[in-house]
Structure 1
């Protein structure tokens, strides 16, 4: 409104703010005001507007402003512009348009760089287009281009999703060398593939990898003790548990439930009883997984009366249903009778979602009473 402030620079800033906030109609209106005032748009502003429309999936508008940029400024779209379009097409799952975009780049004499190739590999990976992903990946050395960390992660996740073990490991080791801190969600996905293939010893390796990069964490101990428990190695399980104790690592529901499941599988009810009775003194609050272990163990001959009495005295059964156990535990051991019953009642042991009327463990146990009578949950 003040003529002294009506400048290319200020208008450019305002339009870029509109684009960043997704207010594209306001951006277009402001562009029209600029033109009416005889002000010019910069190449950076055109790129910003094209990126905004691409992100919103409005590709016709992208093409309109690309054409306008060429006609008014005499500047052709650059690699950055096309990279944005490729990413946007990938987000919209428009893979044919991605290929067309690459051809358009080449026809305009615009060279693909390492950003372009990494974007393409990532989008093909997320789409599960393994052949296209691998073809580009194998071309990178010839073009003297490098893989970004986000690209390595996308490839690992894709191989993990399809259970392609050897290729997953190859890219994982490359990723391991390229980062200072590991992505824990990615480690879980890799670990899940090892579990499905019964390659439990690799879990120990993942634990050491994670420890060397991220330091000690709950996931590190989860992986290490899960490695021993899945192999039903009593000696190995005790060794890791003793190492945790010597280092002063506090107990948590994940490690507690792994130990309890291992003891139950090994029919070591003496150690199971001792473990479950020590939870209150160790300040570990059992979750729905722990409850499932207790009641399933009773089916297998475990006398859980003392544990139930102790838990009842400290008020545990009157607390709200929760889950604090790492997802890898269920991936490794699966669900027993109790958890399967909960799932049938729309109470998910994987997400913690529950029916609104089921609030406490006492209420949950009462609802499973019919099944409990059948299976001996007394």
Structure 2
């Protein structure tokens, strides 16, 4: 709204009885009592204007305008201002019905800014210990979370809670820290908190995630001896998943039989885990047999997760025709796809460089209002990264950030692989710095991507520095890590380095590819 002008004020009606002019001496003030009552008001106004203008010209002011600004002439009641329209959000604020015509000492914009600043100052307090603990767990920073938890235990108001321990055990399990999970479980016992089936299951899951199956079975046997900590469907599902990932299907059959003996019926989630294991192991006959039983069952019917598992299995091995056949079959029994399903199709088509079908699925998602997720963009970025198409990879990444989606660890792994495949190693350094700026939590896959980029660039010194950094970050190397590094050293004829890595691999990884640790002492559990 434009500032209120002098010409607008000059149209106001004036009262015939003006007040003394502020700022004038007694001799210059107007004496309203000396005015003849029958004299025309217009003549008096003309004399008033001449007198004030003569004085103002001597003082260098603007004449009659100063009289109006000084407030010496009272105006009659202001006519009601016409209603102005309300401005849309984002536009300059207009005048509403309740606002003053003359305006306020502070404009609306300043008022809004002041309120926002006051609100920001009011919220500028430090996190409590409990809030900081939840924040560290949300960011999956297990070391910092344990440090904050030790601080929390020192507070006078602290009371051990089962939920806090379960969350910490799950965090440690996802961070591949079973030893820390065991230490935390012992600390819980020292504080007098009674163990439950949920707490034991969280501890067992921590070992299962690290594929320490023997230790997980020892925990299962310990649970059977405790009347209040009997294993349930969640306990068995975690253990079956670990056996499936290790291709120990004889143990899977044993666990399923044990569940039947204890009266625990496997649900769809449990059977989906077994189904995925059969597919990954190439046991397609058993997979179809189990799937047929699920179709005939009244309690474990296939769901959209079953559909995703089957499509993902065939998509990952490049059997696009088989994937499409199963997609139509699941649709025929009434299972509708979800965003994850369509992301699987995009990833499968991208790996086979079938960009026309990949684009068709993307347009289908837009048309039917399926939300694009980080996984959608990751699959698109990965498709271009595998082919070394840095230009389209960058366009997809820019669009991802423009839509407000935060890239995750997989996003940066794909970007690093894409730049290294394209030979743009200077951009690998840039993208690693961006990952640090965005506080992306590095994992084993992330470091493997960086090590692979160094190997392709034939920078073996930097590769060793990244490997040392990986160990400092408590990220355990896997078979892929040693395969990349030994391959790089062999190409350069560095046999001694290859031997050292093989010996280290034997110390760190067992024959089955699992990390070697000492057996769990169940007397302390």
TM-score for the superposition, normalised by structure 1:
0.49
TM-score for the superposition, normalised by structure 2:
0.37
Larger radius of gyration: 2
Higher helix share: 1
